[in-house]
Amino acid sequence: MKNWINFPRVEGEASRQAHADFPANTYEREMSKEGFFGPATHFYHRHPPTGWSNFEGPLRPHAFDSTRMAHSGNSPWDHKPILQNSGSLVALWTCREAMDHLVRNADGDQLLFVHNGSGDLYCDFGHLHIRDGDYIMLPRGTLWRLEPAEPLELLMVEATGSHFQLPEKGLVGPHAIFDPAMLDVPTMDGKFHAQQTEDEWQVKVKARQQLSVITYPFNPLDAAGWKGDNLAVRINWRDIRPLMSHRYHLPPSAHTTFVARGFVVCTFAPRPIESDPGALKVPFFHNNDDFDELIFYHRGDFFSRDNIHPGMLTLHPMGFTHGPHPKALEAGARHARKETDEVAVMLDSRTPWNILPDAHAVELPEYVDSWKTK
C-alpha cells in the first residue's frame, strides 16, 4: 500500500474539475504519478505546453513509417524488431506465404495484432480463421504457424518473461469494454485434423532471444483434444465497446485491453466525442513521467494527430510534456467533430525502450516539429 503525500490544494486560477471548464485562455497540463492512477496536479498555462521552438536530445518524440519497410522470409523470427527492453519486444512482420515450419516463443507470451490481411492460424489448441483487427494472444510455449489467404501484416508484441492478462475493470465490472465471453478460442475442426500428417516438420524455438531448431518425423500439432484455462484467445477491435463520458475526457488507461508485467496494451476504437460545452474534446497535455508511450495507427484519422497515416508508429519517451497537435486542439475547441473514427494500439511501458536499427531506418525526423503552429 502506497502512502502518498496527498493533500489537494488550489493556487491561483484553476479549474476545480480536471479536463473541464478551464480558466479563460489557458491550457491544462497534468503531472501525475503511476501513469494516470496516482496523485496528480493540473497546471493551467498561458501557452500550449508543447509550444517549443526547438527540441534536441534523446527525449525527442519519434515517428516511424512502417509502410516503408520491406519484409522477407516466411518465419515470424524474420520480423523487423522496432523496440526492446527487459520486459517486452515490439516487432513488425508480413507473412506472405504459408509457413513451412512451426514456431514457439519460449521467452514470453506472444500477442499478434493483424493490421491487414486474413488467413488461418494453426496452433496447439486447434485452428482459427483470422482477419484484420484481430488480437491473437498465444501463451508462452505455444506451437503455431500461419497460412495467409492474403498477406498478413502483423504487429507483434512479446511479454518477455511474463504473461498477458485482462485488466481490472473496477467499478464498471468485468463485462465492460468487452465481455470475456467475446474471447474466441481455436477449434479442433476438420482443417486442424487434416494437417496432422506424418511428414517431417521443423519447430523454430526462440529462447533467450536465440533460435533453436527441433525436427520431428511428423507434424507435432497432433493433439486429439485439450482442457484447461491457459488458452490462446482472439478478440477483434470491432468487439470492443469503449468506455465513454460525454462530460469528461477519460484517460488512455480507460481503454486498456491487456496488461503484462511492466507494460499495458490499450485499444483506441471509434466513440462519440464529449458533448458537454466545458469538457475537453481531445487528449489532455500530460507529462507521463513514468511510461514510454508507443502508438500504432491501424485505421481512420487519428483525432489528436496531424499527418499520421495507417501503418505509422509514434514513440513519446517518458520525461517530457506531450499532447494534441495544434490543428486537433483547434478542432476540439470548435467541437468540429462529433465522433472519432480512429483505431490504434497503444503500448505504455514502465521501462524505457531501446529503439532498434529497423525503426531508425524508417524514422521521420521532422515529427518533432509537428507541434509548431504554422
Annotated binding site for homogentisate: 322
- Among residues 137, 119, 139, 144, the alpha carbon closest in space to that of 129 is found at 119
CA–CA separation, 338 vs 110, rounded Å?
36
CA–CA separation, 366 vs 199, rounded Å?
52
Give catalytic status of residue 71 as yes or no. no
User: What residue numbers does the annotated binding site for Fe cation cover?
Assistant: 286, 292, 322
CA–CA separation, 338 vs 193, rounded Å?
49
User: What residue numbers does the annotated binding site cover?
Assistant: 286, 292, 322
- Among residues 258, 237, 232, the alpha carbon closest in space to that of 134 is found at 237
**Which one of 19, 127, 249, 325 is the catalytic residue?**
249
CA–CA separation, 262 vs 292, rounded Å?
11
E-strand ranges in the chain read 27-32, 40-45, 62-65, 80-85, 88-95, 102-105, 108-123, 126-131, 134-138, 143-160, 201-207, 210-216, 233-236, 256-260, 263-268, 285-286, 292-299, 312-316, 343-349, 354-355
CA–CA separation, 324 vs 332, rounded Å?
10
One-letter amino acid of 345? V
Q: How far is Cα of residue 290 from the mean position of the Cα atoms in its chain?
A: 17
E-strand ranges in 249-325 read 256-260, 263-268, 285-286, 292-299, 312-316
Cell of 75: 518465419
Which positions are annotated as active-site residues?
Answer: 249
